[in-house]
Amino acid sequence: MNTGIALLAATAAVISVPVPASGQNPTQAPASAHANQPWRESKLPPEARAKAALAAMTLDEKLRLVFGFSDQALTDVAKVPADIVSPELKNYVITHLVKGSAGFVPGVPRLGIPDQTQTDASMGVRNSFIPSTAMPSSLATAASFDPEVPRAGGRMIGAEARATGHNTMLAGGINLAREPRNGRNFEYVGEDPLLAGTMAGALIDGIQSNRIISTIKHFAVNDQESQRTTLDVTIAAEAMRQSDLLAFELAIEQGRPGSVMCSYNLINGRWGCENDYLLNTVLKHDWGFKGFVMSDWGAVHSTAPAANNGLDQFTGFCCATDQPWFGPPAMKAALRSGAISPQRLDDMVERILWALFATGVVDNPVKVTPTDYVANAAVAQKAAEESLVLLKHDGDLLPLHGVKSIAVIGGNADKGVMAGGGSSDVTPVGGSVMIDQHTFLPSPPLAALSQELPRARIDFDTGADPAAAAALAAKADVVVVFVTQHDSEGNDGSLELSGNQDALVAAVAAANAKTVVVVESGGAILMPWAGQVPAILEAFYPGIRGGPAIARILTGKVNPSGRLPISFPASTDQLAHPQIAGLGPPFDTPTAVTYDEGAAVGYKWHDLKGYKPLWAFGHGLSYTRFVFSNFVAQADGRAIKLSFSIRNAGRRAGKSVAQVYVAPADWQAAAWEAPRRLGAFAKTELKSGKSQRIELSIDPRLLATYEAARNNWRIRAGTYRLMVGEASDAPMQTAEVTLAESIWSAATAQ
């Protein structure tokens, strides 16, 4: 049933178009039918189409686009008073939303403006009723150090979104791992702005290649979960622009998302979703963002202040208990009183329309089609194989071959691999395995190891009793012990492994020196047993084909090539904030945190303080080794151009991850936050004995500091040292470049 007509207000000019019975958009109409409806002309630029569609809309139609519903509206919107949501709108929502997904914004069928059907998130389509392919966690794919991995993943999960009737993904999580215990670090892409911006940008690009919208989130400095809805983050503009905001800036440039989701927290005393500085000044003015800002679910606190400070769309309304800040009555009252101008409402709607036209949502309506889950699982497996990080490998235990007996211990390795919790937790193909209320994906490493090593005898022990596990370990040639650390949206985690897992590893390692530890964690953990085992593989949350990826790396079918996108601290004393602000008191307790480490996040903080981490940013081993040579660099305008050769000096094919760090001769005189920054990186596959010349360039913003008073980027004149190597703590080839002073506006789009 379509009730769009009932919402038309008599005031606006209405172009009469028959309302399709199905509620689908009549976008395939012949050209002549577009005569009075220029927004349907796919050849026109999205700006012109958005303006034309806006001009044809009534007030009530405009208000539909700025007020979104959550999936829970299906059951609960009926109880909302009729003067807040009209019976027609309630009925439209209930009959059109995609059951089990994140949210829904009604379209305007009369004009061919589609409903927005929103699904979480970065690891795959989350719908309680529809199975989908779970990619490795975003942090894992960041460990690939290869943007083609998240791009391929984005293409795949975006195709699944489209095939299940969703035209908007709430995907593109990018908050920096400023707090290593942040329960959502697994949804984000690491601690470095260049790496994070590149990886999130590629994911968004991949998703939007399906002619749907992707939503970068959570804007901004939403770097911990404790008290996430009441936390007031104090951070200087300079620090923000050089850290969290730089990551967003790069990702938005590279991925061109249709929408940005503002965050729950307050930033410098202003809510993320009514933060004039972030939304109007930085995002829309300085960066020239043409799309729209949608709220996180429940992150709106007002009508006119939110709208005027940059929020374009309220999302997630469901129930009589919710505040309908952007509901039709509140918006009409604000328009009547002049608190919101008609121009501002038009701007909100035009931005939403622009995103729908620019990404191709309008011209390519989503429809439900079958999905090839086997092909998609292969994409997830490849991503995991590119992303797992071999942290330690002393001796020649790996790759495993010719082994007669293996003890596999712990981590529910007989049942599956761990996944993170919260809104990104997809319903996997094959069904979730729930253990202690945590989701495991049905991809058991035990079965995968048996498949890779059919002649080996493999015994399993749950690890519940370290003494029993050690007894089994003592009898085996080799032990593979799995440890898991659950992280979830809504809570911050701990660096310490839960339960008896540290004791388990120590007991097993004492019983058998040939012990490999496989870690499935959301982010960094402490490893008090690191010195007692010869090999450690960090698998993060490795996705729906995590089992085979782990087995193929352990057995050498795949040469490991992941590198850490975060530092693993050696202790909580090394953290910028040893205590998590707001941890402990009840949820929603007003809490303040001052990020006085500024832009010195992750390895930059470690460098600044002279701390030696447990595992350094960029670290990761291979079964082969690479040699760098002939490193040359030169200034190229404001940027730096550089090149070097890499040779695979080992006996196996493998992938090198070249990382170029840049350091001013005097970093304090250059006003940097820390002695060095990642300036560029590249992953290259090389056969044994082969070499390749790599050419890269360093973005001027990575050489500059941000000056808030004049809204400038500024590079200080001087000598800059460049270092290329395979990790932030690896031996480096060096080169030097002299840069002239350079100052330019940070309002790059103006």
Q: Could you tell me the smallest distance in angstroms from the CB atom of residue 116 to ligand BGC?
A: 13
Q: Between 316 and 444, whose beta carbon lies closer to ligand BGC?
A: 316
Q: Does 297 bind ligand BGC (CB under 6 A)?
A: yes
Shortest reach from residue 167's CB to ligand BGC, in Å: 15
Nearest to 258 by CA among 167, 174, 164, 195: 167
Interaction of residue 487 with ligand BGC, rule CB under 6 A: no
Does position 296 interact with ligand BGC (CB under 6 A)? The reply is: yes
Instruction: Classify 308 as helix, strand or coil.
Output: helix
Q: How many whole angstroms separate alpha carbon 202 and alpha carbon 216?
A: 11
**Alpha carbon 500 to chain centroid, angstroms:** 31
Which residue spans within 474-590 are E strands per DSSP?
Answer: 478-485, 515-521, 535-538
- Residue 668 exposed, middle or buried by CB count within 10 Å (0-12, 13-18, 19+): exposed
How many residues sit in the footprint of ligand BGC (CB under 6 A)?
8
Q: Which is nearer to ligand BGC, 423 or 450 (CB)?
A: 423
Dihedral, 499, 476, 529, 467 alpha carbons, nearest 10: 40
Residue closer to ligand BGC (CB basis): 196 or 407: 196
Among residues 85, 108, 121, 216, the one that binds ligand BGC under rule CB under 6 A: 121
Distance from C-alpha of 34 to C-alpha of 31, rounded to nearest angstrom: 5
Return the residue of 7, 53, 77, 102 that touches ligand BGC, per CB under 6 A: 102
The residues near 528 (Cβ < 8 Å, ≥ 6 apart) are 502, 506
Q: 244-283 mask for ligand BGC (x: CB under 6 A)? A: ----------------------------------------
Q: Does 120 bind ligand BGC (CB under 6 A)?
A: yes
User: Does residue 423 interact with ligand BGC by CB under 6 A?
Assistant: yes
Nearer to ligand BGC, 291 or 620 (CB): 291
In terms of CB distance, is 268 or 423 closer to ligand BGC?
A: 423
Residue 629 host element (H or E): strand 626-636
- Identify which of residues 121 and 497 has a Cβ nearer to ligand BGC in the complex: 121
Task: Supply angle C-alpha 647, 650, 651, rounded to 5.
Answer: 125
Please, what is the minimum distance in Å from the beta carbon of residue 215 to ligand BGC? 8
Nearest distance from C-beta of residue 364 to ligand BGC, angstroms: 23
**Shortest Cβ 121–ligand BGC spacing (Å):** 6
**Pairing relation of β-strands 231-234 and 591-594?**
parallel
Q: At closest approach, how far in Å is the CB of 297 from ligand BGC?
A: 4
Closest distance of CB 172 from ligand BGC, Å: 10
Which residues, including other chains, have CB under 8 Å from residue 588's CB and lie 6 or more apart? 227, 229, 230
- Nearer to ligand BGC by Cβ, of 218 and 716: the residue is 218
Task: Please identify, using beta-carbon distances, which residue of 119 and 254 lies nearer to ligand BGC.
Answer: 119
Residues 378-417 binding ligand BGC (CB under 6 A) are none
CA pair distance 262, 500, nearest whole angstrom: 39
Asked if 209 interacts with ligand BGC (CB under 6 A), we say: no
Within residues 161-200, the interface with ligand BGC by CB under 6 A covers 170
> Shortest Cβ distance from residue 71 to ligand BGC (Å)?
8
Reduce the DSSP state of residue 281 to 3 states and report it. Answer: helix
- Identity of the amino acid at 250: L
Give whichever of 20 and 298 is closer to ligand BGC, judged by the CB atom.
298
Pairing of strands 389-393, 535-538: antiparallel
> Vertex 247, ends 420 and 546: CA angle to 5°?
30
Among 49, 217, 545, 563, binds ligand BGC (CB under 6 A): 217
CB of 263 to ligand BGC, least distance (A): 8
Alpha helices in 273-362 (DSSP H): 304-308, 328-337, 342-359
Least distance from C-beta 216 to ligand BGC, angstroms? 11
Cβ proximity to ligand BGC: between 298 and 534 the closer is: 298
Q: Determine, following the binding rule CB under 6 A, whether residue 425 of this chain makes contact with ligand BGC.
A: no
Q: Is the peptide bond before 218 cis (omega within 30 degrees of 0)?
A: yes
Based on CB atoms, which residue is closest to ligand BGC, 183 or 664?
A: 183
User: What minimum distance in Å lies between the beta carbon of 265 and ligand BGC?
Assistant: 11
- Which residue is associated with the tokens 């019976």? 87
Do residues 558 and 400 make contact, with C-beta atoms less than 8 angstroms apart?
Answer: no
Q: How far is the CB of 77 from ligand BGC (least distance, A)?
A: 17
Helix (H, G, I), strand (E, B) or coil at 263: coil
Q: What angle do CA 204, 206, 283 make, to 5 degrees?
A: 20
Regarding 42 and contact with ligand BGC (CB under 6 A), the answer is no
Q: Which is nearer to ligand BGC, 274 or 296 (CB)?
A: 296
Smallest CA-to-CA distance from 541 within 421, 656, 622, 452 is with: 421
* Sign of torsion over alpha carbons 36, 39, 43, 47: positive
**Site for ligand BGC, rule CB under 6 A:** 102, 120-121, 170, 217, 296-297, 423
